[in-house]
Chain A
Amino acid sequence: MPARNEEPQTLLTASAVERTLKRMADQIVELNDGTEDLVIVGIQRRGVQLASRLCALIEKSEDAKVLQGSLDITLYRDDLQTIGPRPVVGPTNIPWVIDGKNVVIVDDVLYTGRTVRAALDEIADFGRPARIALAVLIDRGGRELPIQPDVVGKKVTVEPGERVDVLVEDLDGRTAVVLIPPGDAAP
């Protein structure tokens, strides 16, 4: 492992994440003309945490119930044959009929776009939504597929080898977005 020459740099603090999510929640409501047909689907794992936060914010501001689901896209990945199996970390849970609904996919970091491609395929196995939108907390660039977000928390430019990690209270004990220098292990 290369020598660790830099400390992780904080891109968003907990209160900045909170402010950003509030704005994203408003944008999601605006994009979908309210909450009537809205279904918010988080991608395991940190997307699910963020989706819950967004749902709570929308429910508070709009005084309406928002349907929420979760997706684990591991079985829809395109790299099983090459990389091999990865642990399936969480349940897929879409207990709603999503035909004709406005589905918003929520993830923490948008990078190559391959996860979103897998999520689109998986959602198609559950039904035919009227439209599907993509909301991400961080867009770090580096797309390998023609996929773009509809709602973005923060756009950052990241050097090759660097990593952006979103930390959430439930899994990491604190909320923040950090830039990890090259060579550091995953959390």
Chain B
Amino acid sequence: MTSPLGKDLLGLEFLSSEQIRLILDTAEPFKEISERAIKKVPALRGSTIVNLFFENSTRTRISFEFAEKRLSADTVNVSSSGSSVAKGETLVDTARNLEAMRIDMVVIRHGASGAASFLAERIESNVINAGDGTHEHPTQGLLDLLTLRDHLGDLKGKRVCICGDVLHSRVARSNIWGLQKVGAEVAVCGPRSLLPNSIEEFGVTVFKRIEEAIEWADALNVLRLQLERMTAGYIPSSREYNRVFGVSRERLNRAKRKILILHPGPMNRGVEIDSDVADGPHSVILNQVTNGVAVRMAVLYLLAGGKPELAEAAKGGNR
């Protein structure tokens, strides 16, 4: 039996709903491991995993590293600064050199959309996309799904609105595809300048006002305003953005039902989300972080192993 997910995890767009459910269901028992005194199981003992991070990251990199270590894999972190990437080495050359040292998996974050799949076609190791440009961030999408499922139960028919800077957000794309595959209704809300031109093609509802989104939704996934990717004047100012689109306690209080608030982090407090919302009773932002480790453990586990050429040696039952 080879991996039920195939060789790589590049995005949620091409996963089936069964594969997404398998990852979420597999993540459930992994939650318990992080609650043990000895937070470690031997599943990936002997596997070597390289975390190749060409963009800054705290949460995702550390979360992957915890997931790898709690599965007993050996891990190496490579960042663009301080490695030969700074000397002009290409992505493929870097990865091939790592492969020559006999690695099993690469977790890659890169500023260029499609970088993970470019790499996956060229190396034999399993590749996990930890965010490629504005394309996808599949493990973030999965941990959002897991957190929503923890609080809302089956997501079929549940309404989730993705708010803010959808244009620059790989989290938004992974969320839209992931949520739709498990049967949720998806909407987006944000200034037109921060929504992709073809947003309707995703099959989502578009809200122009945050008040309408709050009225409609069971959960809001509030995106960070990605000022570092904004090359032109997309919004007049952060302050004005907060006044028109900010998720505030006051706006949430007007909603008739309890709305779950998610944020992929890092937060711009006082811009897309107010502090009393981020730290308030609606927020499941830290649950997302906890679930991130479990989801990444599930992905690593499901991609690992299954080398048929070794199966001959393993003949015999396993009872």
Of the candidates B4, B33, B41, B319, the one having the most CB atoms from chain A within 10 angstroms of its own CB is: B319
User: Chain B residues near A126 (CB, 8 Å)?
Assistant: 36-38
Q: Which of B39-56 contact A (CB under 8 A)?
A: 40-44, 46
Residue B22 CB within 8 A of the other chain: yes
Pick from A85, A112, A122, A144: contact of B302, CB under 8 Å: A85
CB closest residue in chain B, given A115: B319
Residue B310 CB within 8 A of the other chain: yes
Q: Please tell me the size bucket of the interface on A.
A: 20 to 34
* Secondary structure type dominating chain B contacts: loop
In the complex, per-residue mask of A107-143: 1 if CB is within 8 Å of any chain B CB, else 0: 0011110110000011001100000000000001010
Which of A7-15, A51-59, A70-78, A168-176 has 4 or more CB atoms under 8 Å from chain B? A70-78
B305 touches A82 (CB 8 A): yes
A140–B40 Cα distance when bound, in Å, is 32
Q: Which of B302-319 contact A (CB under 8 A)?
A: 302, 304-307, 310-311, 313-314, 316-319
A75–B73 Cα distance when bound, in Å, is 13
Shortest Cβ distance from B29 into chain A, in angstroms?
A: 5
User: Chain B residues near A75 (CB, 8 Å)?
Assistant: 33, 41-43, 71, 301
A148–B4 Cα distance when bound, in Å, is 35
B305 touches A90 (CB 8 A): no
Residue B226 CB within 8 A of the other chain: no
B40 touches A125 (CB 8 A): yes
User: Chain A residues near B3 (CB, 8 Å)?
Assistant: 84-85
User: Chain A residues near B248 (CB, 8 Å)?
Assistant: none
Q: Which of A30-86 contact B (CB under 8 A)?
A: 72, 75-77, 79-86
B305 touches A80 (CB 8 A): yes
Q: Which of B274-315 contact A (CB under 8 A)?
A: 301-302, 304-307, 310-311, 313-314
Residue A183 CB within 8 A of the other chain: no
User: Chain A residues near B30 (CB, 8 Å)?
Assistant: 88
B32 touches A91 (CB 8 A): yes
A83 touches B314 (CB 8 A): yes
Shortest Cβ distance from A10 into chain B, in angstroms?
A: 20
Residue B101 CB within 8 A of the other chain: no
B313 touches A114 (CB 8 A): no
A92 touches B304 (CB 8 A): no
Shortest Cβ distance from B35 into chain A, in angstroms?
A: 10
Q: Which of B108-130 contact A (CB under 8 A)?
A: none
Of the candidates B2, B305, B314, the one having the most CB atoms from chain A within 10 angstroms of its own CB is: B305
Pick from A81, A87, A115, A125: contact of B310, CB under 8 Å: A81
B32 touches A93 (CB 8 A): yes
A110–B318 Cα distance when bound, in Å, is 10
A84–B306 Cα distance when bound, in Å, is 3
Question: A92-B32, A93-B32, A125-B40 are known contacts. Are A84 and B2 too (CB-CB below 8 A)?
Answer: yes
Q: Which B positions have Cβ atoms within 8 angstroms of A?
A: 1-4, 22, 25-26, 28-30, 32-33, 36-38, 40-44, 46, 71, 301-302, 304-307, 310-311, 313-314, 316-319
Sample (5) of A-B pairs whose CB atoms are under 8 Å apart = A75-B42, A80-B304, A88-B301, A125-B40, A142-B317
Q: Which A positions have Cβ atoms within 8 angstroms of B?
A: 72, 75-77, 79-88, 90-93, 109-112, 114-115, 121-122, 125-126, 140, 142, 144
Further 17 A-B residue pairs, CB within 8 A, beyond A80-B43, A87-B26: A75-B41, A76-B43, A80-B44, A80-B301, A81-B307, A83-B311, A83-B318, A84-B305, A85-B3, A85-B305, A87-B22, A88-B30, A110-B319, A112-B317, A115-B319, A122-B41, A125-B40
**Nearest 5 A-B pairs (CB), nearest first?**
A84-B306, A111-B319, A82-B314, A80-B305, A75-B41
